Chain A
Amino acid sequence: MRHLSATLLLVGLAGGCASAGAHQAGAVKPAPARAAPAARGASIAAGDSTSVDRAQYPSTYQRHANPPVVIRNATIMTAAGQEIQGGSILLRDGRIVSVGTTVQAPADAVVVDGTGKFVTPGIIDVHSHLGVYAAPGTDAESDGNEATTPVTAEVWAEHSFWPQDPQIPLAIAGGVTTIQALPGSANLIGGRSAVLKLVPSRTVQGMKFPNAPYGLKMACGENPKRVYGSRGGPSTRMGNMAGYRAAFISAEGYRRHWDKWNSDHQGDPPSRDLRLETLAEVLRGHILVQNHCYRADEMAQMMDLAREFGFHIRAFHHAVEAYKVGDLLATNGVAAAMWADWWGFKEEAMDGVQQNLALVQQAGARATIHSDDPGGIQRLNQEVAKAMYAGIRAGIPITRDQALRWMTANAAWVLGLDSITGTLEPGKMADVVLWSADPFSVYAKALQVYNDGWLVYDRNDPAHQPRSDFELGQEPAPGSDR
């Protein structure tokens, strides 16, 4: 809720990584492929490379049962190179079974007429604060920034996440099936992210994407300076860099001690340190670095930092100046997660251009949309459309499939889940959205959302319109669209 005349304040608080910020049983199935994330092939199975020998806070997610579904005669946008006119898609047991112009469906399949409609993969938002900055937005729900010291690698966003955030059903109605809920950007190192299936659940464990690697939130630039400048620092960008370096120097020693003990089991194990444990997992390539960073020059610094310690940055988030260093991002294999048109809310966001995603794509780097915003997450298809058309109008030949990947396949890669979801290909998780029209039109709305094959949302059926506990009892009820 924005005040007509208090925009400065709110933009300051909410803008740019918010400085401020399910399931019952069905047949459980193994994931079609292991999450294959970081360069070193992370599996996050706890084991001899970590300092604990048991799964921590494990996912209890289970796929919801759903009869097979075949959507007929739709325009199928696969995000894998094809846009199939008059196409069909069959979903069964949480998987995409087949996609094409001729699809055989079992007799018990629910048939959905897709005439005039469009089908895409479920949208993935790699940068959300749903659940950690929940509505109604009071201090009581402000759980996104552990702004007590600049390095808090020990905190985990899932431990803040409130599954009854009323913003969650709204994002589902926008076609979002997977999010990365991140800590805020007050800290140099803000903590672990939670990668979640966006489904109603009593617990965050019931939403945790099976086998997804964790992310680590890091933040460049103004926010840590602003938060800590008068609280012991860092107060400068060079102070920021020194802070990251000190943290990873500690983590190197920690990792060495634990790796040695894990290999020889000589004597007592080293003491556990939650902060260093997470950073050591980054050094081992098991946790993906998700780095809030606006300015081009700072991205270059951070890529050097990663080289110094031998880890990889998976993606720069916000990356308002990514277009200035698209070539460096491509060379380093670092993705950029961007907005379509945000700019100007602070100095490091001054150089925003609407062609940012298109230019990053043109440079050969991996472009991704993100919301960082509970409003924007409901319209990521529109954000992608704005970014695509801004590029096309400027003469950059972005294809519809490339643009679709900005909110699906590329986003899945940022989370290390691209072998599991993000495209409409046989074997992939059945995360699928049926749209009323071309999803790149402002007038398109998600009609049906399938998450892991489950019809989690149906615009035309109140029985499939999840409501959070928070919303119950309201009179008059605003309706499923709000």
Chain B
Amino acid sequence: MIAFLLAQTIAITGGTVYPVSGPKIEHATVLIRDGRIVAVGANVTVPADAAKIDATGKWVTPGLIDGAGQMGLTEIGLVPAGNEGALRGSDIAASFNVAEGINPASNLIPVTRVEGVTTTLASPGGAWIEGQAVLIDLDGATIEQMLIKSPVGIVVDMSEGSKGAGGTSRAGVAGRLRRVFNDALEYSRRKADYSRAQMQQLAAPAAELEALLPVLRGQLPLIVYANRVSDIRTALRIAREYKLKLILSGAAEAWEIAADIAAAGVPVLVEPMDNLPSYDALGIRYENAAVLAKAGVRVSLMETETHYSRRIRQQAGNAVSFGMTWEQALRAVTLTPAETFGVAGQYGSLDAGKVANVVVWTGDPFELSTGVEHVLIRGKEIPLRSRQTELFERYRTLPPRY
């Protein structure tokens, strides 16, 4: 599925390499051929025909992964013309896969990738069972070229925001979710009856129930957005009942039950800089990510606002400020989200055989003083240009020359 556009050998030499899968390597080389990493280490022989990137004194990491947002599905927040991430009309949109809504020409893509974010989620939003999220690389002329995995999960909102789906009660939401799941299972057993119209009215159209079957078979994750502890517990309970593969997102109060989440083996995506209390999460706090990581939960960090996906490194820096180790935070924006979305075989670390999403930084990627020197996506060096760099160039001296 992953398309490589350029057959080329590139050697990134001399940098301090953070493979994530292992300890950092000083003065190391990352050798890339035909879009994949072929060698990482201090004693890698660089072929004569390799294009060289001198990373002496620089830091080299995997491209950052933001496991949230609507990259490619939104252009200008308040302008509907460019917004493709919400399926209106029904609050059960399990069959809604966002992939064909992605705009590979979106201005947000260059703005984001030139800051070292190479992979993001493209997630549906606007319903209750919101649809199918996909994982994309931030380069490619076509949707097919960008897609890494489609779908990576079906998204369900079980926060305060979805109470309307359950008659304005959290208990109603949980009960309705079970009815939908039960009907999907019954539908899968009695498709012949269904086609002969010999079944009672189902909780959702057949196409939606059909789309949920991979989730109910434990093949596709259910990504549950929940913040209040009681909602997180409901998600864990329902996941146990139906033997689901669960991913928690948001999870603002998860720190309160970190041990239980760790015991359940459920991965969690959190936004470290979010600490403002609401009735959905009175217990929200900066230390959430650190407490979860310490308890052994597989924590990924995310930036949920699509235009600001580039801020994920600031999210990570703040997670470190509030108790995560630096190594945990780096893993939480690379290998852990790759694992969470089932692509760790190809993404998330600098290891031979993996897709060559690589960033060369002037220093610590989480530090505000650090800039990006090189970005490679699928082994292709990305020009560090965006609409914003062009605006800057136009107006760096006044008046501009139009």
Question: A residues engaging B (CB < 8 A)?
Answer: 1-12, 15, 135-138, 166-167, 170, 222, 226, 323-327, 341-347, 350-355, 359, 363, 374-375, 378-379, 382, 385-386, 389, 393-394, 396, 440-445, 470-471, 474, 476, 478-479, 481-482
* Contact across chains for A12 and B77 when beta carbons are under 8 A apart: yes
Question: What chain A residues lie within 8 Å of B269 (beta carbons)?
Answer: 4
* Contact across chains for A170 and B371 when beta carbons are under 8 A apart: no
Among A441, A443, A471: residue with most chain B CB under 10 A? A443
Per DSSP, chain A at the interface is: loop
* Contact across chains for A1 and B76 when beta carbons are under 8 A apart: no
Q: Which of B47-55, B155-163, B166-174, B197-205 forms part of the interface with chain A?
A: B155-163
Indicate the size class of the contact surface on chain B: 35 or more
Tell me whether A474 and B283 are in contact in the complex, defined as CB-CB below 8 angstroms, given that A5-B123, A8-B125, A440-B368 are known contacts.
yes
Tell me whether A375 and B275 are in contact in the complex, defined as CB-CB below 8 angstroms, given that A344-B307, A479-B285 are known contacts.
yes
* Contact across chains for B391 and A351 when beta carbons are under 8 A apart: yes
Instruction: Give 24 A-B contacts (CB < 8 Å), ordered by A residue.
Output: A1-B281, A2-B271, A4-B69, A4-B304, A5-B123, A5-B133, A6-B125, A7-B306, A8-B74, A8-B83, A10-B305, A12-B78, A137-B278, A327-B398, A345-B76, A346-B78, A353-B395, A359-B392, A375-B273, A375-B276, A396-B396, A440-B369, A441-B369, A478-B287
* Contact across chains for A347 and B68 when beta carbons are under 8 A apart: no
Question: What chain B residues lie within 8 Å of A4 (beta carbons)?
Answer: 68-69, 123, 125, 155, 223, 225, 249-250, 269, 302, 304
Q: Which of B143-151, B232-240, B316-324 forms part of the interface with chain A?
A: B316-324
CB distance from A347 to the nearest CB of B (A): 6
* Contact across chains for B395 and A324 when beta carbons are under 8 A apart: yes
B91 within 8 A of A: no
Partner of A443, one of B320, B370, B371: B320
Question: What chain B residues lie within 8 Å of A363 (beta carbons)?
Answer: 398
* Contact across chains for A15 and B395 when beta carbons are under 8 A apart: no
* Contact across chains for B282 and A474 when beta carbons are under 8 A apart: yes
* Contact across chains for A1 and B283 when beta carbons are under 8 A apart: no
Of all chain A residues, the one with the shortest Cβ separation from B70 is: A7
Question: What chain A residues lie within 8 Å of B123 (beta carbons)?
Answer: 4-5
Partner of A136, one of B278, B322, B388: B278
Among B85, B256, B308, B366: residue with most chain A CB under 10 A? B308
Tell me whether A346 and B77 are in contact in the complex, defined as CB-CB below 8 angstroms, given that A5-B123, A443-B321, A479-B287 are known contacts.
yes
Partner of B125, one of A5, A354, A476, A482: A5
Question: What chain B residues lie within 8 Å of A8 (beta carbons)?
Answer: 70, 74, 77, 83, 85-86, 125-126
* Contact across chains for B368 and A482 when beta carbons are under 8 A apart: no
B367 within 8 A of A: yes
Tell me whether A136 and B305 are in contact in the complex, defined as CB-CB below 8 angstroms, given that A443-B321, A481-B285 are known contacts.
no
* Contact across chains for A375 and B274 when beta carbons are under 8 A apart: yes
Partner of B108, one of A327, A344, A359, A385: A344
CB distance from B153 to the nearest CB of A (A): 11
Tell me whether A385 and B368 are in contact in the complex, defined as CB-CB below 8 angstroms, given that A326-B398, A354-B388 are known contacts.
yes
* Contact across chains for A442 and B225 when beta carbons are under 8 A apart: no
A362→B166 CA distance, assembly (Å): 55
Q: Would you list which residues of chain B between 275 and 325 have a CB under 8 Å from chain A?
A: 275-287, 302, 304-308, 310-311, 314, 317-318, 320-322
Question: What chain B residues lie within 8 Å of A481 (beta carbons)?
Answer: 275, 285-287, 322
Question: What chain B residues lie within 8 Å of A382 (beta carbons)?
Answer: 314, 318, 368
Partner of B277, one of A5, A11, A136: A136
Among B68, B274, B391: residue with most chain A CB under 10 A? B391
Tell me whether A442 and B276 are in contact in the complex, defined as CB-CB below 8 angstroms, given that A5-B130, A345-B77, A389-B368 are known contacts.
no
Interface string of B60-93 (1 = CB under 8 A from A): 0000000011100011111100010110000000
Of all A-B residue pairs in the complex, the 4 with the closest CB atoms, nearest first, are: A5-B125, A442-B317, A345-B77, A478-B285
CB distance from A2 to the nearest CB of B (A): 5
